A and B are shown apart, each in its own frame.
Chain A
Amino acid sequence: MIHTVLADDEVLARQKLRQLLRNEPEIDVVGEGATAIETIELVRATKPQLLFLDIQMPGMDGFDVATELCSDTNVMPKPHIIFTTAHDQYALRAFEIHAMDYLLKPFTQERLSSAVDRARKEILLGNQQPAGNSATGQTGSRYTTRIVFKSRGRIVFLPVSDIRWISAEENYVRICTQNETHLLRETMARLEEKLDPDMFLRVHRSSIVNLQHVKEVRTEADGEYAVVLVNGEKLTMSRGYRSRINGWLTHS
């Protein structure tokens, strides 16, 4: 079971969270805090693996709680934090202190599930919550593993492994995941630079593909190449990029 603590100054907010979490397997709510101080004490006493944290609470806020817990050597391992808040302006800050997710109130069971699934995966893998508030990658990798952005009124903390492919649309890029696409104001060059080349490959001037989702490279009737994804989607490929994928195909 995953020991979980909820922190929110509003009773109804805690009640909703508790109810929704009942439907989530392996989540065991071990305590609820209504203030920052209460929450810190609760975490020290129960050592949960997961913490749902409201940002605006009387006195100290959610970030103060996170900072306090990070510097406390008695709290080991650090709990994974999922922020729940009505405000979207703290998203970047939450992302920088390695929060697991950022839920905007009101959220649905579906949205909560996606956050919990991710946390569950991390916890079961035994991954530690990255310690410290600094964003300097302790893994030493210079590539990004998550992207944060706003899309359709929601905050998305997207693990890059969830991306299937990315296409360029002038000054924007379209990021496609299993169920959704997101339009971001970003350039392909900047994105390509951020993404691990062992995982993502530029197959065309205007597309990048996640190699984990590639099934095969096919030669089309007109002599052009196409990258076929596991789900059947097809991306055209430029000749110039053909050699790049060949190298990868012979590898695997």
Chain B
Amino acid sequence: MHPVVFVGAFTLLGLLFALQEWVSIHSWNSHIPITFQLLIAAWCVHYFLLGTIFWLLWRWLGHHIQTASLMCMATRILPLSLAASVFEEMIWVAVFPQLPIGMPRMTYWHRLAFHLDSDTVDSLVMFWAVFFLLRGIGYYQLYRETAYAAVQLETQFANAQLRALRMQLNPHFLFNTMNSISSLMQTDIAAADKMLEQLSSLLRITLERGDVQLIPLSDEMEFIEMYLAMQDRRFSGRVRQEVYIEPDLYDALVPAMILQPIIENAYTHGLSRLDRDGLIAIDVRRNDAMLSISVINSGRGLHLESSNGAGRRGVGLANVKDRLRLHYGNGQAFTIEELAHGKVRVALTLPLQFSERPTRQLTGYGV
């Protein structure tokens, strides 16, 4: 609290007491010959002094206000409060020698004894009221800070987890592709070159995207289309690719690189087992307030996979699941099921959110 506010509040309190006394003097018709100005000055100075002294004490006590034990309060702070009250009264009595009014002339010490008699309890009450008020505020602030730190920590942890999960995807995919290029280099230079260009394009847009977790679906699909084109080359047209997206969903937000592991799985565990007529179908629709993404691939079903695939499919998909949970908590769903004829469907449902700002796109017109 700013000292001006603190001392100002005390002085205001003094002013209120002065007004109260003025009203009571007049309504009881007491014949105390005191002027309004003197009354105001006396009360205001009294409380101004109290405020100043208390303020200095709080500054000096600092965090002891929060930590003081009952013992400490009784043996140290109680005497302190008495001393502060007496000290304040001593200054005040020196400032107002004309008070008390209507009494025979008294010495300084007499006046001090007279005023201490009537004011000490008030001063002590003020002291302890402020003491406990500050103690309470301190506790509240501490509580707020702890809660805030906990929230911060939680967010940081979730972010770190998400970053780590995203990092797992890229190297896996990156090195597999580099291995393919390395293999192609021996046999088909042009094809290796083409794949290297595709990989560069993929890396370029991935690097550009940086650390952003949620991206518009159009950006995610741009990446997926490039990835599909690369897979299409590898599978030399054995797999038909179908993509359907409701056009008003292009700006919907999805976790970056959420689809790539699903599609990679569809190829490695399903489509690679077929020598012809493969199909991969990506379908994105609105479902009330949710976004539904489904990836269907033809293959040999889930059972055969688990018997000889040794749960490899699990790693990439577990990662997808974790990321969905971290982003949306219970507001999302992830299912994997076997359809007829060995087809497998992976379905994601997540809350439909749109980016507040559309992605900045480089587009220019001219000659």
Contacts and interface: CB of A to CB of B under 8 A. Distances in A.
Do A and B make up one complex?
Answer: yes
Interface of A: 88, 91-92, 95-96, 98, 104-111, 130, 135, 137, 139, 141, 144-154, 169-172, 183-186, 194
Given A98-B367, A141-B367, 13 more contacts: A88-B204, A106-B196, A109-B190, A111-B197, A135-B367, A149-B363, A150-B361, A152-B205, A153-B200, A171-B250, A183-B222, A185-B361, A194-B365
Interface core residue of B205, B226, B361, B366 (most chain A CB under 10 Å): B366
Contacts of A106: 193, 196-197, 200
B250 A148 contact: no
A184 B363 contact: yes
Contacts of A104: 200-201, 204
Contacts of B365: 144, 146-148, 194
Contacts of B194: 108, 110
B237 to A, nearest CB: 15
Contact of A153 (B204, B361, B362): B204
B248 interface: yes
A111 B362 CA distance: 20
Interface string B187-219: 000100110110011101100100000000010
Contact of B359 (A108, A146, A147, A185): A185
10 contacts: A98-B367, A107-B197, A109-B190, A135-B367, A144-B365, A147-B365, A149-B364, A153-B202, A170-B250, A183-B221
A122 to B, nearest CB: 12
B225 A152 contact: yes
B226 A170 contact: no
B226 A130 contact: no
A184 B364 contact: no
A88 B362 CA distance: 10
Contacts of A137: 366-367
Interface of B: 190, 193-194, 196-197, 200-202, 204-205, 208, 218, 221-222, 225-226, 229, 247-248, 250-251, 358-359, 361-367
B362 A150 contact: yes
A145 B367 contact: yes
A151 B205 CA distance: 10
Contacts, number: 97
B201 A172 contact: no
Nearest to A154: B201
Contacts of A170: 247-248, 250
Nearest to A152: B226
Nearest to A87: B204
Contact of A172 (B197, B202, B218): B218
A154 B193 CA distance: 15
Interface core residue of B196, B208, B218, B362 (most chain A CB under 10 Å): B362
Contacts of A109: 190, 193
Contacts of B367: 98, 130, 135, 137, 139, 141, 144-146
Smallest CB-CB A-B distances: 3 pairs: A153-B201, A169-B247, A144-B365
Nearest to A174: B247
Nearest to A141: B367
B366 A108 contact: no
Interface core residue of B201, B202, B226 (most chain A CB under 10 Å): B201
Nearest to B203: A153
A43 B193 CA distance: 30
A66 to B, nearest CB: 16
Contacts of A135: 366-367
Contacts of B197: 106-108, 111
A137 B366 CA distance: 8
Contact of B247 (A95, A107, A172): A172
Given A92-B364, A169-B250, A185 B218 contact: yes
Contact of A91 (B190, B221, B225, B362): B362
Contacts of B229: 152
Contacts of B251: 171
Contact of A96 (B190, B204, B248, B366): B366
A170 B248 CA distance: 5
A216 B229 CA distance: 33
A92 B250 contact: no
A110 B229 CA distance: 15
A186 B360 CA distance: 11
A247 B176 CA distance: 57
Contacts of B359: 185
Contacts of A111: 197
A198 to B, nearest CB: 16
Interface core residue of B193, B202, B251 (most chain A CB under 10 Å): B193
Contacts of A98: 366-367
Interface core residue of A92, A153, A154, A185 (most chain B CB under 10 Å): A153
